[in-house]
Chains A and B, each alone.
Chain A
Amino acid sequence: MTIVYIAWLTLREAGRRRILWLLGALSVAFLVLFAIGFRLIYAEVLAQLPDSGLDGEAASFFTIAGLYAVNFIIIMVSVLSTVDTVSGEIASHSVHSVVAKPIRRREVILGKWLAFALLVVTAVALLGGGVILICWISSGYLIPNAVTGLALIALEGIILASLTLLGGTRLSTLANGIAVFMLFGLSFLGGWTEQIGGYVGNQSAIRVGIVTSLLLPTEALWKRAAYLMQPPLFQQFASTPFAVTSIPSPAMVWYALLYCTVTVVLAVRAFGSRDL
């Protein structure tokens, strides 16, 4: 019960600090821009390639491009909204009056985690769902595995939020932000090394990608989401920047879930055992 209350309090703080308002307003602006861009470009493609039979592929390409942008927004939101929540309260000492109440320290961390997980899921549903809906309404094309794909993007955001929470229990806000983004950079680079390795058939490059995915499985989750949400034709010819040549397996998703759980457990333990 305290966990839910702390979660509610965290979201209330995000609301009072205008984070939710800004997120909502800019999400709407993003979707409006995407809708305008989609309609203009899709109409142009149809005009230039009449009766080509590639309507679905064109719509799919624009949708995945939109979801790629959504994926980056989710990464930023997951880290930036979480980065100061623990370390900031420790640095300002405002944590003292809360932790000195008859509550368990783990309830503070789990409550905050729940709040940011909800924030990430809502942002993915709003932005990702919006992009998919705009494509569907504008072109009549619905990308495959939409719900699974969005769930994987949400899991990616939740993992980053969990990792940032863990960092916040021991690092300063700035050091934590740098550490998480650098780790994400490694994962991103490893992911592309794996994809290019897959394209040219280099097994060593693929292995580099897999190892970095184990270090932080976020990029692997995006690759799997992108693979699932594109039609098989794109995958066969690897004809777009979003085509996935080395497909992360379902085992990577299970690994990501385990990674997320372990990260939260470590955050609870790190916060529980430190002096405040």
Chain B
Amino acid sequence: MSDGDSGVALRIEGLTKQYGPTLALDGLDLEVAQGEVFGFLGPNGAGKTTAVKICLDLVRPSAGSVTVLGLPASDWRARRRVGFLPEHFRFQEWLTAREFLDVHGRLCGMPAPQRRQRGVELLERLDLSRQTDQQLRVFSKGMLQRIGLAQALIHGPQIVFLDEPTSGLDPLGRRIVRDVIQDLRRQGTTVFLNSHLLSEIEVTCDRVGFVRRGRLVHCGPLSELLAAATEVEITLDPGTELTAADLASLPHEAVVVGERLLFRLSDESLVPDLVARLVALGVRIRSVRPQRSSLEEVFLELMEGEGAG
């Protein structure tokens, strides 16, 4: 059975890329399921763009393999159902927006009526309808990035690689791209998102992988990753007192700061039991506030941890 049938959209095994003395990728292993929105994170120079380029056969690996929708990345047919927004969104600036989408649709082998219809839809969706007949040379950075996203989606791909898709966008543009990614998720399209903007990853991705020095240092569902570092602040009614024995009987260690109890839990689902236990001890609770770590905190923690190691 091919990966295309087994629910795996992208499989990366032992991927290594050496540029002269520089090791850009060092045995990267990764799998992305079909229909998943996957965020690929890492500091500058971690090997993210190199990995994406190998997936599209723009760069040849020194070792390892990449399978895209069941076909080796080196097979040009693998790209029939693949879309790509490059990091450097420079395109044929002598074409108008309409012509540009038509050219890229034609390169994907789409028939003319379908190209026309899809082009109009995408220009509308990415708020570029007014620029339809303008040459790309007069486009702003944000417009170029949006038309770049349109060319990546022109043929209705099954997997889309987006390399820093919002780097040149204003908040409105980012919102549009975020909505497009949500649309892709609903349609069952796999999205592989390379981004420095952690807030974007946080609101769009199902699962994230952290890469550092060409290696995957962590990979998992975003919810688990963020929940894993959950802190809960429970504020008690004034005058409520807990004895040392009460505190010792709690299932999790508490840090007491006046009337506030701070707990660090491995999972948010442990909160109800903790509250029930406190209530059973006769404690009157005024508020319970889970304080989820931001992705940025997790990112820094992982990168610093690796650095220390």
Residues of A within 8 A of B (CB): 2, 5, 9, 13, 16-17, 92-94, 96-104, 273, 275-276
- Interface stretch among B77-85, B117-125, B171-179, B187-195? B77-85
* B-side contacts of A97, CB under 8 Å: 84, 86, 91, 104, 148, 151-152
Asked whether any CB of chain A lies closer than 8 Å to the CB of B107, the reply is yes
The smallest beta-carbon distance between A276 and chain B, in angstroms, is 4
* A-side contacts of B91, CB under 8 Å: 94, 97
How many angstroms from the CA of A203 to the CA of B56 in the assembled complex?
Answer: 56
Residues of B within 8 A of A (CB): 53, 56-60, 76-80, 82, 84, 86-88, 90-92, 94-95, 103-104, 106-109, 148, 151-152
How many angstroms from the CA of A94 to the CA of B92 in the assembled complex?
Answer: 7
* B-side contacts of A2, CB under 8 Å: 107
Do A100 and B109 touch across chains, with their CB atoms under 8 A apart?
A: no
Do A101 and B58 touch across chains, with their CB atoms under 8 A apart?
A: no
5 tightest CB-CB pairs across the interface, nearest first?
A: A93-B88, A101-B107, A96-B86, A100-B84, A16-B94
Do B86 and A100 touch across chains, with their CB atoms under 8 A apart?
A: yes
Chain A's closest residue to B54 (CB) is: A275
Do B84 and A96 touch across chains, with their CB atoms under 8 A apart?
A: yes
Residue of A9, A16, A97, A275 with most chain B CB atoms under a 10 A cut-off: A97
How many angstroms from the CA of A93 to the CA of B56 in the assembled complex?
Answer: 14
Chain A's closest residue to B103 (CB) is: A9
Chain A's closest residue to B80 (CB) is: A102
Write 22 A-B pairs (CB below 8 A) sorted by A numbering: A5-B106, A9-B103, A13-B94, A16-B94, A17-B94, A92-B90, A93-B87, A93-B88, A94-B92, A97-B91, A97-B152, A99-B58, A100-B56, A100-B79, A102-B76, A102-B78, A102-B79, A102-B80, A103-B107, A275-B53, A276-B53, A276-B58
Given A16-B94, A275-B59: A96 and B88 interface contact (C-beta under 8 Å): yes
The smallest beta-carbon distance between A115 and chain B, in angstroms, is 14
Do B108 and A101 touch across chains, with their CB atoms under 8 A apart?
A: yes
Chain B's closest residue to A9 (CB) is: B103
* B-side contacts of A16, CB under 8 Å: 94-95
How many angstroms from the CA of A101 to the CA of B58 in the assembled complex?
Answer: 11
* B-side contacts of A98, CB under 8 Å: 107
Chain A's closest residue to B77 (CB) is: A102
The smallest beta-carbon distance between A216 and chain B, in angstroms, is 31
* B-side contacts of A13, CB under 8 Å: 92, 94
The smallest beta-carbon distance between B171 and chain A, in angstroms, is 25
The smallest beta-carbon distance between A22 and chain B, in angstroms, is 15
The smallest beta-carbon distance between A146 and chain B, in angstroms, is 37
* A-side contacts of B106, CB under 8 Å: 5
Do A276 and B59 touch across chains, with their CB atoms under 8 A apart?
A: yes
Given A96-B84, A97-B91: A275 and B107 interface contact (C-beta under 8 Å): no
Chain A's closest residue to B56 (CB) is: A100
Do B90 and A275 touch across chains, with their CB atoms under 8 A apart?
A: no
How many angstroms from the CA of A275 to the CA of B94 in the assembled complex?
Answer: 25
